[in-house]
A and B are shown apart, each in its own frame.
Chain A
Amino acid sequence: MLSVIFLWLFVFLLIVALFLLTGYQLMCCADLEMDYTNTYDFASEINSTVLPEFALQGILSSCFLISRHWVLFLLCVPLLYYHIRRYMHRQHIVYATEAFHQLGREKKARLVKLGFYMFLLFLSSFLMVVNMMNENY
């Protein structure tokens, strides 16, 4: 019972963290576009947050798996696959030399992710509340 609440809280925090990380990356992209930063800083800032994001997302997925929330897990699988694929192909890193070349694509991908995390955030908070109510009665 308590563990379920903790799990939900943990999941909730994970999603918030993912949301913030992605938002931060998007901000970096915007900064570069607006000329507030240069490609070197851009690359190092983005790259420093990419792996944590991937890891958090992995943890999140496994949480769903362990807690047997199959639907939520299935929702996360495509993104997990995408992350693993990028990592395996070493495409997760942004290169300073090609920052502008990659910028458009990276931004789009991150916007989609941001939307997904937001959806997940609402869904999980909704489920959390519903779950807790069920437990209580």
Chain B
Amino acid sequence: MHPFGNEKPLNALGQPAMPAPAASQATPPFLSSGPVVGFGASGASRTTAPFSSSGAFPNPGAQGAPQAMAPPLSSRPITGLETSGYTSPPQGRFNGLTRPPQPSYPVQDPNSFQQSLAPRFPPTSQSPYPLRSPPFGAPSVGPPLGPPPAQVPVVPMGPPPQISSPSPPRVSMAPPVLDSSVPAPTAVLHSPLPGNPNAPPLVNMPHQQFPAGRPVSMPAPQTFSAPNAPPYASPFNAHQGGYVPPPPPVGATLGFNSMGQTQYPSTGPPLEGTLQGLIEDFQSLSVASTPGTLDHGIDPKLLARPLEGDNEPTSILETYPLNCHPRYLRLTTHAIPSSQSLLARWHLPLGVVVHPLAEAPDGEEVPVVNFGPAGVIRCRRCRTYVNPYVSFTDAGRKWRCNLCSLLNDVPGEYFCALDATGRRCDMDQRPELCQGSVEIIAPTEYMVRPPMPPLYFFLIDVSVTAVRSGLLEVVSKTIKSCLNELPGYPRTQIGFITFDSTLHFYSLKSSSSQPQMMVVADLEDIFLPMPDDLLVNLSDSRSVVDTLLDSLPSMFQDNANVESAFGPALKAAFMVTGKLGGKLIVFQSTLPSLGVGRLRLRGEDLRVYGTDKEHSLQTPEDPFYKQMAAEFTKCQIAVDIFNFSDKYSDIASLGTLAKYTGGQVYYYPSFHASIHEEKLKHDLARDLTRETAWEAVMRIRCGKGVRFTTYHGHFMLRSTDLLALPAVDCDKAFAMQLALEETLITTQTAYFQVALLYTSSSGERRIRVLTTAVPVVTDLGDMYRQADTGAIVSVMSRLAIENTLSTKLEDARQLLQLKIVKSLREYRNLYVVQHRLAGRLIYPESLKFLALYVLSLCKTLALRGGYADASLDERCAAGYSMMILPIGRLLRLLYPSLIRVDEILLKASHKSDEVLERLPLTTESLDSRGLYIYDNGFDFVIWFGRMLFPDIVTSILGVDFSTFPDLSRAALFERDNEISRKFTKILMKLRAEDLSSYQLCHMVRQGEQPRESSLFLSNLVEDQTASTSGYRDWILRLFRQTQQSS
């Protein structure tokens, strides 16, 4: 194929996609990809480079500075105090190559630095866009640098030029000097900024926290490209040219940023460039021990903490406005490596997290498209759907597929003339051509059968445990209350089976006034006593269904049966629903004990724990469940498991049903209606009423050279790349990993297209198409810059959980650690040459939270400790639920919020919109006079400090600690007083942030053992616990390991 096949049209269309190389050369400005913080940017910078390069220059004094300093500095121990970042030795060395060390050695003081900077601006009286006139530079210094053409190749990466987003995403500023007592540098940095588009990043250098940095040190790298001879310059430019977004001419200057210090006269507009140059590419954290102390120099306050929660990488939309919103699709790094060797150096997962039915805020719903008689427009060869990145040619009669670059005909009905720029005239009216996410109404070719009606089938355990715990009653009530809101009225179908040691079928014929119950005791050979009326149309039989739900609890209230014929019940349910498909909702409160699929209490066999066979407890024991899952998926039935057991109930086996059918596992250990009622009600109601897509299949397509290898989540892989999803909804996300098929990718942009074909509850067959474009990069630094921590953590957590099914927990954790260490080491190697990094852990701005998330991932229920640290069922249930969590909720679970509320409660006027400030998750955040809420999205833990103002306790709980020592039985509801009202309001507000799950309140008092430690203290992820390290030690350990062999 032609590497640039797309460009012509694209450019013609005025679309942003990659500029053709030729063009790029011609118009350096945007190519320069300004913000490239690193060292000079693309070709543009090189062109200018000439004048910067030539060693012998007017300002010997200034330029000498760096070099001269180098030697002395290097010998110094690096301590936090070191201010002068720009003195890093390597540069000295480099300079050394080209020029002799200069004697004058300016004082090491940020200010001096600043001064040195300042002078260089005035001299630049040239045109503001020096880039444009490469020749200009040439005459002055031309010779030393290689001929400009040589640099051309760099350019291609240029991102769509049109966007002039002021803040390059990855700009990580090098934070001010370690030593906070020397604030000067920051100030200095700021001063020149006004009017600089790049200012924002700089300014929000919030990174005071990571003072690690030798703030000023960043310029160091630049030095690099400038003075040293062309050979050096070009590679660097090449890399960094990257595809950093655009601010115009800046890049040019980068070449001689070095000069920032070295004061070359030629830097005109470079102001920006220089500043950028000052910004370091990475963040760092000083871990050097201060002389004389044993303590390692990590200040816990400076560690990165994601207190703002997940931030979607929406900045990508500025670069690629035609991409689908990141809420639907996120890549672990928004850059595809161009070669396998580059990929091999990226030790983190390379993949995609797709959340196809993510809930969109009002006004941003996915537009619906109907192609009508034209049929769905797709590529003939690769079956890609028409999307904003295709290009129209031949006066609008043909279109070129952006994935396989095949030229397709445009159907007559879809034809539209092109305007002068090559855009289709009707582009703006066609969402599929101007938006990355659309929903296409599928014609009949996309149906193998008439669209199925939404179908809910309930399989309810009515054995003694279920009845006693109040489960049956809550479930019946909740289902009844949701009947009106079940999606798909009036087509919705519904049916029930209850079971204990026998199966009970209910005939819900609309003509009868009472449901009729039939008991089948033969578990070996299941048959349906009355095949036709077990599954009925809800609107027809509404009154019968209501009657049944009203009477269910009382029918079984005296049931003393302890057995559970779950397997046979499952088979019966399959026989009933098999023809239509739908959703099977299972309520199970004991271990299946009768008939096919009965399970053993294998989880209680202590001898297995700690051995090599331990992991086998997490995989299904009886193949029956795997086979049933396969059958269910084949018949488009999704299974949701609600498990309520207080004893071992082998969630590992039961969950298999959900795993392969696109379902979900809910687990309520030791369920009791009085405690869990609200949560169950909410979860069940959400499950029943959320918008659900039925009988769906999902496929993700990508361009040549890239291939999806593995998929992670709840679905069934029907063929190599087709995910079968009997039901999918807004609470499920899927992860997949990529591999490169070819050693080298020649295109500049890779495209991904997710297509989800499903039946909506209204009975319409639809295809949701999500398209995204990703630049192909040649530089590892670019990959790090565009990395998306959320997506990486999501993929890593799924991989780790899958690993626990085949290896020991310890090994799974080790693997996580190994990955992060390797990637940090690789990152360090990128910079270790040019910077003095001794005693510093460096990491990209984009991944600053990764270490913390991975640490807390190791501490989650699913991966924590050994067998004693979490019950097997809880572990499995946590694993199952983490496999489907969308990124935002996963990050919330990994780093929950901790909020202090007593002050808010006592404050006289409490505005409802007050921002709740999140605190670091460590015991040091806790004050014994405070009241805290810990919220991980699934549970609340309310922590009462020992010295909490007693009024608050009595107002909220209605009791006193002295008379009511056991908080596990305290009830929390709104009481008639101001404080309690406020408190409930806060809880409601927190719950409203995420409706997909309901946080159950656990209350715990300071010092109340052992509940405090099991519920609360063990979840403070930054703290050290018996077997796990704290955040600080973790960072130290990572640091040490990244240093080894580097």
Task: Show the binding face of A for B, using Cβ within 8 Å.
Answer: 32-35, 37-40, 43, 90, 93, 95-100
Does B909 reach chain A (CB closer than 8 Å)?
A: no
Contact B716–A97 (Cβ < 8 Å): yes
Q: Closest Cβ of chain B: how far from A42's Cβ, in Å?
A: 9
> Does B629 make an interface contact (CB < 8 A)?
yes
Q: Which 9 A-B pairs have the closest CB atoms?
A: A96-B630, A97-B660, A95-B626, A38-B718, A97-B630, A35-B720, A97-B626, A35-B719, A38-B719
A contacts with B: majority SS:
helix
Residues of B within 8 A of A40 (CB): 630, 634, 718
Q: Are B623 and A90 in contact (CB under 8 A)?
A: yes
Instruction: State whether A33 and B720 are in contact (beta carbons under 8 Å apart), knowing that A40-B634, A97-B660 are contacts in the complex.
Output: yes
Output the least CB separation between A28 and chain B (Å).
13
Which one of A32, A43, A93, A95 contacts B719 once the chains associate, using CB atoms below 8 Å? A32
State the Cβ distance, B938 to closest chain A Cβ, in Å.
27
Bound Cα distance from A98 to B659, whole angstroms:
11
A90 to B623, CA, bound (A): 9
CA distance A95 to B718 in the complex (A): 12
A-contact 0/1 string along B720-739, CB 8 Å cutoff: 11100000000000000000
In whole Å, how far is B658's beta carbon from the nearest beta carbon of chain A?
A: 12
Q: Please give, as numbers and ranges, the residues of chain A lying within 8 Å of B717 by CB-CB distance.
A: 39, 99-100
Q: Which residues of A contact B720 (CB under 8 A)?
A: 32-35, 100
What residue in chain A is nearest B625 (Cβ atoms)?
A97
**Cβ of B627 under 8 Å from chain A:** yes
B718: chain A residues within 8 A (beta carbon): 38-40
5 further A-B pairs in the complex, CB-CB below 8 A; given A34-B720, A40-B630: A37-B719, A38-B718, A90-B623, A95-B627, A100-B717
Q: How close is A126's CB to chain B, nearest CB, in angstroms? A: 41
A99 and B629 alpha carbons, distance in the complex (Å)? 13
State the B residues within 8 Å of A (CB). Answer: 623, 626-627, 629-630, 633-634, 656, 659-660, 716-722
The A/B interface has a contact count, at CB < 8 Å, of 42
Which of B629, B633, B719: most chain A Cβ within 10 A? B719
Contacts A/B (CB < 8 Å), 17 sampled:
A32-B719, A32-B720, A38-B718, A38-B719, A39-B630, A39-B716, A40-B718, A95-B626, A95-B630, A96-B627, A96-B630, A97-B626, A97-B630, A97-B659, A97-B660, A97-B716, A100-B720
Residues in B neighbouring A35, C-beta threshold 8 A: 719-721
Contact B630 A43 (CB under 8 A): yes
- A97→B719 contact, CB < 8 A: no
**A12 CA to B623 CA, complexed, in Å:** 36
Separation of A95 and B619 alpha carbons in the complex (Å): 14
In the complex the two chains form, what is the Cα distance from A101 to B719 in whole Å? Answer: 12
Complexed CA–CA distance, A90 and B716 (Å): 22
Q: In the complex, A100→B722 CA distance in Å?
A: 12
Name the residue on A nearest B627 (C-beta).
A95
Among residues of B, the one whose C-beta sits closest to the C-beta of A93 is B623
In the complex, what distance in Å separates the CA atom of A7 from the CA atom of B160?
A: 76
Bound-state Cα–Cα, A37 to B627, Å:
18
Residues of A within 8 A of B656 (CB): 97
Across the interface, which residues of A come within 8 angstroms of B630, CB to CB? 39-40, 43, 95-97
Residues of A within 8 A of B633 (CB): 97
Chain B positions within 8 Å of A95 at CB level? 623, 626-627, 630
- Point out the residues of chain B lying under 8 angstroms from A34, CB to CB: 720
Report which of A32, A33, A38, A98 forms a contact with B626, defined as CB distance below 8 A.
Answer: A98
CB-nearest residue of chain B to A31 = B719
B634 adjacent to A97 (CB under 8 Å): no
Q: Which residue of A lies closest to B632 (CB)?
A: A97
Determine how close the nearest CB of chain B comes to the CB of A48; give it in whole angstroms: 15
Chain B residue, CB-CB nearest to A100: B717
Cβ contacts under 8 Å, B721 to chain A: 35
B-side contacts of A100, CB under 8 Å: 717, 720
The residues of B that contact A32 with a CB separation of less than 8 Å are 719-720
CB-based nearest B residue for A39: B718
CA distance A43 to B660 in the complex (A): 15
Return the chain B residue nearest A95 by Cβ.
Answer: B626
Taking the nearest CB of chain B, how far is it from the CB of A101, in angstroms? 9
Q: Given the complex, which residues of B lie within 8 Å of A96, measured CB to CB?
A: 627, 630, 634, 716
Q: How far is the CB of A71 from chain B (nearest CB, A)?
A: 36
State A18–B729 Cα separation when bound (angstroms): 47
Nearest-Cβ distance from residue A119 to partner chain B, whole angstroms: 32
For B622, the closest partner residue in chain A by CB is: A90
